[in-house]
Amino acid sequence: MNFGDLQSDDGLVLLNSFLADKSYIEGYCPSQGDVVVFEAIKNVPSADLENVLRWYNHISSFDDAERQKFQGQRQSLEYYKRQDNQEKHESKLSSVNPADDFDLFSNNDNEEESEIRKQRVKVHIEKNAKKPAPIAKSGIILDIKPWDDETNMEELEKNVRSIELDGLIWGTSCFVPIAYGIRILKIACVIEDKVSTDLLEERITEFEDLIQSVDIALFRNTPQNEEKSFLQHLSFLESADSFFLFYLLFSKNKMNFGDLQSDDGLVLLNNFLADKSYIEGYCPSQGDVVVFEAIKKVPSAGLENALRWYNHISSFDDAERQKFQGQRQSLEYYKGQDNQEKHESKLSSVSPADNFDLFSNNDNEEESEIRKQRVKAHIEKNAKKSAPIAKSGIVLDVKPWDDETNMEELEKNVRSIELDGLIWGTSCFVPIAYGIRILKIACVIENKVSTDLLEERITEFEDLIQSVDIALFRNTPQNEEKSFLQHLSVLESAD
């Protein structure tokens, strides 16, 4: 570890060479050695020192409290340099039993010891020659993107996991919200070197009805002893997501929206929010609060993106906004110049493969042509499909004349009504007063069924029914239809 003065360029060059085949200063996990060396570096390493920069960014991603919990005992900086460290270990070696001190790699032997060495080395070589070479493996995080917000993501994941290749193991996964209800599947896998990433992507995109594209969000060599950990822990997905998030927020759309009390500033903010729900990330954060407080008047209707965002943030009260995630920064932090400088240093460590965004138009000619062909095929295929039937979920309050009305017969009569596009669901009797109960009943209707017609048909049982009220009316997506019809919670919410 002879990396010299870490405040000099020469020292950082030596450290860069030391970290060329290592992830940490000592061992395979962050330790106090990493903390000591990290604290000795006063400036962010330059981009050309890629090994040091990778290591530095990784250690800086932990806060002080987390770094204090790293394993091992904290030693002096000199301990982690060769001269001091060497002296410490030589003093330990002096206490070793002479019988243990027999050095098979030394040349200071008599003839008998030399022969013993040759025999042992020969046996060792022959023994290891019979062992198979360790299989090189890589850990990958894939971002798998659907066509739209109506894609069945559970089915998409099931199809992806159905892919079987010799040398491929699937790991943990999660769905990550992007915007406008669209989610991507982020999934970990480990592949042996004989498995081509091109082949894997090709197999995944064969499910063209569900999948628009695949990105490699993270790619790294994975030692055999880390394989299980890589496949099981969601922290790898989160780290891959931070790369994706930095690119999405700061590479393509800078937050340079100027003076938010001027019309020009609001126009820039409106453009910035054209493909985003929030100022930072996928959830409301302190960034939204700071920008919201800087706007002194409600955006005009012509600034639809800014107005949508403004109305959403204003729907929370002050106490709720204070609980939004993240740390509060100055307004300047959320503007382009200051924020851009902070994050471009982080972006410089992201590999070009991580920055390939299939939702953008920043493709080379070949990628652009592939995208056009796939989008064209998808549009043509879906144009042949019949449009989904629009349906509405309704909860009806059916009221009897008095407490002597036979409610079981009343319900039987209501359910006897048959219309093309009408499906009856769950029901219950709700006491009102003086022994009178009403029938609360759920149904789903297609748009071709008129609610006026339905009410008219129900009130035809005039001996039993006084009136009908619509207690709840809402659009019901096809995948929620069954749930709406079966669950009493729908009736309780209407009540």
pLDDT in tens, 205-230: 999 889 988 988 877 776 666 666 66
Domains annotated for the chain, with CATH where assigned, are 9-80 (no CATH), 137-245 (3.30.70.60), 263-335 (no CATH), 391-487 (3.30.70.60)
Average pLDDT over residues 260-274: 78
Q: What is the pLDDT of residue 171?
A: 86
| Dihedral, CA of residue 122, residue 125, residue 129 and residue 132, to nearest 10 | 150
pLDDT in tens, 471-483: 888 776 666 677 7
- pLDDT exceeds cutoff 70 at 105: no
Average pLDDT over residues 299-316: 83
- pLDDT exceeds cutoff 70 at 453: yes
pLDDT bin (cut points 50, 70, 90) of residue 337 is very low
- pLDDT exceeds cutoff 90 at 411: yes
Q: What is the pLDDT of residue 160?
A: 95
CB 196 within 8 A of CB 164: no
Count CB-CB contacts under 10 A for residue 238: 14
Question: What mean pLDDT is reported for the chain?
Answer: 75
- pLDDT exceeds cutoff 90 at 406: yes
CB 25 within 8 A of CB 37: yes
Average pLDDT over residues 429-441: 89
pLDDT in tens, 45-61: 888 888 888 888 888 88
Q: What share of the chain is helix, strand, coil (3-state, %, to 5)?
A: 45, 20, 35
- Give percent of the chain with pLDDT exceeding 70: 67
Q: What is the pLDDT of residue 438?
A: 93
Q: What is the pLDDT of residue 85?
A: 42
Q: What is the pLDDT of residue 206?
A: 92
pLDDT in tens, 9-37: 888 888 888 888 788 888 777 889 889 99
Average pLDDT over residues 435-453: 89
CB 273 within 8 A of CB 309: yes
Which residues lie below 8 Å from residue 453, measured CB to CB, with a gap of 6+?
419
CA-CA distance, 359 to 362, in Å (whole number)?
9
DSSP string for 166-187:
TTEEEEEEEEEEEETTEEEEEE
CB 57 within 8 A of CB 50: no
More confident residue, 380 or 407: 407
More confident residue, 39 or 80: 39
CB 413 within 8 A of CB 463: no
Lowest mean pLDDT among 23-32, 46-55, 355-364, 484-493: 355-364
Q: What is the pLDDT of residue 251?
A: 36
Q: What is the pLDDT of residue 458?
A: 95
Q: What is the pLDDT of residue 154?
A: 92
Q: What is the pLDDT of residue 414?
A: 95
Task: Write out the E strands in 373-421.
Answer: 391-400
Q: What is the pLDDT of residue 349?
A: 39
pLDDT bin (cut points 50, 70, 90) of residue 157 is very high
Q: What is the pLDDT of residue 26?
A: 83
Q: What is the pLDDT of residue 391?
A: 81
Helices (H) and strands (E) in the chain, counts: 20, 8
The winner for highest mean pLDDT among 77-81, 106-110, 129-133, 248-252 is 77-81
Look up residue 331 and give its two tokens.
């307004």
Up-side HSE of residue 414: CA atoms within 13 Å toward CB? 32
Which residues lie below 8 Å from residue 32, measured CB to CB, with a gap of 6+?
70, 71, 72, 73, 74, 75
Count CB-CB contacts under 10 A for residue 185: 23
Q: What is the pLDDT of residue 439?
A: 93
More confident residue, 349 or 395: 395
Average pLDDT over residues 258-270: 78
Task: Write out the E strands in 360-461.
Answer: 391-400, 422-433, 436-446
More confident residue, 117 or 147: 147
Q: What is the pLDDT of residue 354?
A: 38
Q: What is the pLDDT of residue 97?
A: 46
Q: What is the pLDDT of residue 203?
A: 93
The winner for highest mean pLDDT among 150-164, 173-187, 272-286, 328-342 is 150-164
pLDDT bin (cut points 50, 70, 90) of residue 257 is low
